Structure 1
Amino acid sequence: MNLNNKNILITGAAQGIGQAMAVYLCQKGANVALLDLNREKLKKTTDLCEKAGSKVMALEIDVSSESQVEGAIQKISNNLGSLDGLINNAGILRDGLLVKTKKGQILQKLSLEQWQSVININLTGVFLCGREVAAHMIEAGSKGVIINIASISSAGNFGQSNYAAAKAGVVALTTTWAQELARHGIRCAAIAPGMIETEMTSAIKPEARAKINAGIPLGHMGLPKHIAQTAAFIFENHYINGRVIEVDGGLRL
């Protein structure tokens, strides 16, 4: 896919990796629709994309709401035209041990709210946006690409039962959609980032950061632009389908 003048929808676009992907794709000539709940930061991403000369549409919606997602896709198609791509990036963290103990005593359990909130955004949100965009592409007769942002945590990660389960589900959706949608000319792939320098990781204490970097073969965290470059590669390479590309500096060998 040549990205020039293509319409790409990006969820979780207000900051970090989502913002980096939006700006990078606009610099390559794409137009973007941006979804997020953070109005102030969404405005910043919008401004950065408009500076690149692209058409931009931003909507504040909850990707775990079926009605809001359906309404957003309709508004985007009415304003920008047919969608050519989707990046399912929206996600949250609510980390915690399944059961936290001290000397054999139960101190805390992972709450249902912690579990469900992550599943709602990180998995159900991907399902809803993927379903609606796929239906839109099929009805419009347009070939397109769906990229899901997974994580190397999909293989399991200490203290992240909810997040790991959701991301494993995202990988399963990716391979399933790749098989189902190919006949309509729609490709689907995923990116699994490792440790990336974002607002979230910037809060890590220096000693913990040093330990993390020491465990990465390349010796440092990745940057949001590395994920953006990978997304562009998937869009532009017509033979990538059903695969998860790990961008982690060799962390998960």
Structure 2
Amino acid sequence: MQIADSIVAITGAGQGLGRAMALYLAERGARLALIDVNAAGLEHSVSSCKKFAAEVRSYDINVANEEAVDTGFSQIAQDFGGLQVLINNAGIMRDSMLLKCKEGKVTDRMSLSQWQSVIDVNLTGVFLCGRAAAGIMAESGEGGVVINISSLSRAGNMGQTNYSASKAGVAAMTVTWARELARYGVRVAAIAPGFIGTEMVAQMRPEILQGLVKQVPLRRLGEQEEIASTVAFILENDFVTGRVLDIDGGARI
């Protein structure tokens, strides 16, 4: 697939990796539908992409709401005349230990709301957006590409029962969809980033940041553009499907 003139929807495009991917693709001529519930961040992303003379529109869609997703993606297809790419990037973190004990008694535990909020956005949101986008692609007869954003944490990470479970689910859905949707010309792949230098990571305390870097054999954080360039690789290589690409500098949990 050629990136230039392709119609690309990106969820979670109001900041971080979502914005970085949008900018990378805008510079290469993609037509962008940027999705987020963060209005201010979304406006910033749109204005930044327009510097490359890209066609870009914004959409306030709650990815965890079925009606909002189906209506929103129908509107995207109507506005752009179709949809060829979805980057399922939206995600949240609500870290907590499963439980904590003191003197033989449970003193704290991950709440159901902490669990459910992450599953709703990171897993159900990916399902809903993937289903809506794939339906548009299949009906067009021209196929397309779905790229899901998983995580190094899909293998399990302390304090992230909810996040790790959601990202493992994303990886599993990626393989399943690739097998199911190939008959319609839809390729599906995932990227599992390691420790990336996003705004959130940059605000960590120095000692925590140093601890993260020590876990990476290359001894540095990944750059957001390195994730964006992986998106471009998946789009441009028509034989890539059903795979989760670890972009983590060699780190393993």
The answer, yes or no, to whether TM exceeds 0.5 is: yes
- Alignment-mate amino acid for residue 68 of structure 1: A
1:108 aligns with 2:90: no
Distance 1:174 1:212 in 2: 27
Q: CA deviation at 1:104?
A: 2.6
> Helix, strand or coil for the counterpart of 2:212?
helix
Q: Is the 8 A contact 1:82 1:142 kept in 2?
A: no
Q: Which residue of 2 aligns with 1:44?
A: 44
Distance 2:211 2:138 in 1: 47
Distance 2:105 2:81 in 1: 58
Distance 1:146 1:12 in 2: 15
Output one character per residue of 1:24-47: Cα deviation in whole Å (capped at 9) or x when no partner: 011111011011011001001001
Q: Is the 8 A contact 1:73 1:133 kept in 2?
A: yes
Mean Cα deviation higher: 37-46 or 202-211: 202-211
Distance 2:14 2:129 in 1: 17
- Alignment-mate amino acid for residue 129 of structure 1: C
Output one character per residue of 1:52-84: Cα deviation in whole Å (capped at 9) or x when no partner: 111111011110000100111111111111101
Q: CA deviation at 1:215?
A: 1.7
Distance 1:212 1:83 in 2: 38
Q: Which residue of 1 aligns with 2:228?
A: 228
1:102-141 matches, within 5 Å, as 102-141=102-141
Mean Cα deviation higher: 168-177 or 72-81: 72-81
Q: Is the 8 A contact 1:35 1:60 kept in 2?
A: yes
Distance 1:101 1:224 in 2: 38
- 1:33/1:159 Cα in 2 relative to 1: closer, same or farther (>3 Å)? same
Q: CA deviation at 1:203?
A: 2.5
Output one character per residue of 1:194-247: Cα deviation in whole Å (capped at 9) or x when no partner: 011112212211011112112210101111111100001000001101000000
Distance 1:226 1:103 in 2: 47
Q: Which residue of 2 aligns with 1:180?
A: 180
Distance 1:215 1:155 in 2: 15
> Helix, strand or coil for the counterpart of 1:246?
strand
> Helix, strand or coil for the counterpart of 1:200?
helix
What is the aligned residue count? 253
Q: Is the 8 A contact 1:63 1:121 kept in 2?
A: yes
Output one character per residue of 1:150-201: Cα deviation in whole Å (capped at 9) or x when no partner: 0010000000000000000000100000000001110000000001111221
Q: Which residue of 2 aligns with 1:98?
A: 98
> Helix, strand or coil for the counterpart of 2:195?
coil
Name structure 2 gaps, 5 residues minimum. none
Q: CA deviation at 1:106?
A: 1.4
Q: Which residue of 1 aligns with 2:245?
A: 245
1:144 aligns with 2:180: no
Q: Which residue of 2 aligns with 1:26?
A: 26
Distance 1:168 1:216 in 2: 21
1:167 aligns with 2:167: yes
TM-score (ref. length: structure 2):
0.98
Output one character per residue of 1:88-114: Cα deviation in whole Å (capped at 9) or x when no partner: 000000000001123333121100000
